Amino acid sequence: MAKTSGMVWLVGAGPGDPGLLTLRGRQVLESADVVVYDRLASPRLLKYARSDAEIVYVGKQSSRHTMKQDEINALLVDRGLKGLSVCRLKGGDPFIFGRGGEEAEACRSAGVPFGVVPGVTSAIAAPAYAGIPVTHRRMCTALGIVTGHEDPGKTVSTIRWDGLAQGLDTLVFLMGVENLPNIVRNLTEQGKPSDTPVALVRWGSTSRQETLVGTLADIVQKVLDTGFSAPAVTVVGEVVRLREGLRWFDNRPLFGRTVVVTRSREQASELAELLESLGASAIEFPTIRPEPIPEVAESPVLSCLPLDYDWIIFTSANTIPFLLSALRVNGGDVRSLGAARLAAIGPGTAKALTDLGLNVEYVPREFVAEAVAEGFPVDPAGLRILIPRAEVAREVLPEALAARGADVTLLPVYRTVPDAEAAEDLRAMLNEKGVDIVTFTSSSTVRNFHDAIGDAPMDGVCIACIGPVTASTARELGYQVDLVSSTYSVPGLVNELVAHFGKTEDEA
């Protein structure tokens, strides 16, 4: 979007699952000069913000405020009057008990243009993620969404409790945990049967989601007994009875597990997405960052294009963009790979090549260097083989091929450097027993993780590794390895985690 003048956008961030942000909301977030977000908006959405954007956390919470509403209004107006594009990222929907109307009024009064991007409200999404449809043809034809606590400046409640109790089939209260005793009392006094089902859904649509089910007669005591706390959505009505049959989110195999993903930022998304699809909370902690080796473009290997090799073996998907970048410096492109046949160490690397329209002729059955050499589809004797790779890498593959008579050329195109930007936060999580699983996908991720966390406690944390080489490095550094995927790939590692935790829970 082209920026013409100051503009404040009130954007609904959804209930917590970052995947529920609308496409329009993402567009606004990506173009904003300033992002103002609150406690109920997923911090993971900030990855869509520009690197040079001003990020302001206003973390409002019941009884505790990082910034008061008047101050938030003033902030939005100030940035808008300065000609900046502002994304006010609000949990749920801005206009459903989100005080978005007040922020819009403040902008209008100051002459600041504003717009609204509706969001998925927690009033509907949190129950849905708990398996509770807020309407159902057999049970509910009238739905009410009610604030759980009114404006504290009011002297008398304006909620029509008689109408709520008698006139609506399903009631959804937002921000009502602290006021639950009053809600229950008012509903029952106005004739709502005491055996009416009630469900509280905490942190709905996230891996922290918890659901507490009871009735108007016992829900308050259950909240006291369990210590159930805000933020939560309260659903009152017969539709709550559908939960057990319609649960789909909080009964997934890795639900509630917090998993640390140590791959580089460029590679982490595949593993994080798979984990989250199975209910886990994926914490991306990239311990390594690949960066190019500038001198590679001057290598004699690239001096004459197209390349003149019989085979090119790619041992990592990281290699591909760095090799292509070096080729471009020399006036070439993907066509400069010439007539070489291509091999990839595993399916992830193979996919990265096929996505470029390249044909991969060989992927070994086991995705390690030893298997590449042992299962090579032709006799390598006399063949010219190029292996683009990291600056520091195991010598198993080139030595094995050379021993069989191949003429092997090594071309380091990138190096990995430690990336421990979020180490302090991760150490805090480990100290607070907030991590269930740590995944390692290479020896370098293990070493850099070990260096980054120092003496943070790892007892009780499941260590999961891709393949025996990575596992061996982890053991050398003193970690107890719990899982080693038999298939040396990201899906293989995830399948191993599912099998392990599913078995553990069944046996328990």
Supply 1's token pair.
Answer: 């979007």
Chain center to CA of 157: 40
Identify the three-state secondary structure at position 30. helix
- Strand positions, DSSP E, 318-366: 341-344, 360-362
Among 51, 203, 56, which residue's Cα sits nearest to residue 126? Answer: 203
Identify the three-state secondary structure at position 113. coil
106 vs 255: CA distance, rounded Å: 41
172 vs 160: CA distance, rounded Å: 14
326 vs 112: CA distance, rounded Å: 48
Identify the three-state secondary structure at position 486. coil
Q: For 368-383, give one letter per residue: b (16+ CB within 10 A) or e.
A: bbebbbeebeeebeeb
Supply 400's token pair.
Answer: 């094995």
Among 216, 250, 255, 251, which residue's Cα sits nearest to residue 234? Answer: 216
Among 103, 67, 101, which residue's Cα sits nearest to residue 88? Answer: 103
> What are the catalytic residues?
38, 60, 175
Is the bond preceding 306 in cis, omega lying within 30 degrees of 0? yes
501 vs 415: CA distance, rounded Å: 35
DSSP 461: P
Contact call for residues 137 and 163 (beta carbons, < 8 A):
no
Backbone angles phi, psi at 37, to 5 degrees: -130, 155
Write the burial class of residue 109 (CB in 10 Å: 0-12 exposed, 13-18 middle, 19+ buried). exposed
Contact call for residues 121 and 92 (beta carbons, < 8 A):
yes
Specify the long-range contacts of residues 219-228, CB closer than 8 Å, at least 24 apart. Answer: 219/180, 219/184, 220/180, 220/181, 220/184, 223/177, 223/180, 228/177, 228/200, 228/202
| Partners of 200 in beta bridges | 212, 234
Kindly list the distances between the CA atom of residue 374 and the CA atoms of 319, 406, 407, 471, in Å, as whole numbers in the listed order. Answer: 22, 13, 16, 21
176 vs 183: CA distance, rounded Å: 8
